[in-house]
Amino acid sequence: MQRARGIGRLATTVRDGRTELTTLYQEGCAKIRLPHTHDDSLQAVVINTAGGLTGGDDLSWSMHAAPGAQLVLTTQACERIYKSTGSTARVATHLRVDEGAHLDWLPQETIIFEDSKLARTLDVDLAPGASLCAVEAVLLGRDAMGESARRALLADDWRIRRDGRLVHAEATRISGDPEREREGLALLRGAKAFATVLYVGANAEARFNRIRAELPDRPEIGASLIGERLVVRAMAHSGLELRRLIVPIIATLSGAGAVPRLWSL
């Protein structure tokens, strides 16, 4: 069967205080577009022109923020992971953030369909003085269709390193065991949407204090701080409810102080 393959790479430099493009590479279904911005940052929209992923598809992104750069990465729309006939769709993202730079990795939600299989990795290399805001949100099926994707499989691995030292690692697994994973009190508790927002930077404590003041008093969302690492996790019963929870958090933690315009409902 025909499979989607895509490779996208982007690199930056800083001239007169403004982040500018130096490298843009696109192959296969991976495309990158650069909308105009009204500040000194560079915003890039990564696009999968295959219109979704299914078993055997392979997509790779590699992004580099030069020293002092401000780079914002988002997606054109929600990514969709469709039913697989056996093999697994794979997405690998590698981000390099040089000294004094800030990078926002803000893809829109990933929608997991029934019987889909996705293995995804996020690897980030942070130089001393660099900072990062990253989000991954997952919707289990389409709300309007009443889906719950109870047989979907997901493996999502994050590795964040500062100057070669591992500072954050996590592995999210959905194995198709709905009774344990979807209904367990310590896991999803019946939620159909969940997200992780991560901030790594020297001013994490100040951001944490702002987040605590803004968080709604609800058990579905919470934040923790360890050193320079701030983690916010949220669950919801619908994609719209999840977005309403995390958009203010992303705006607080992002370098631009707002979500990208493509996130606007």
Spell out, as residue ranges, where the chain has pLDDT lower than 70: 177-181, 183-186, 265
DSSP label at 143?
A: G
Predicted pLDDT of residue 186: 63
Distance CA 27, CA 16 (A): 31
Predicted pLDDT of residue 217: 80
For the chain, the domains span 5-196
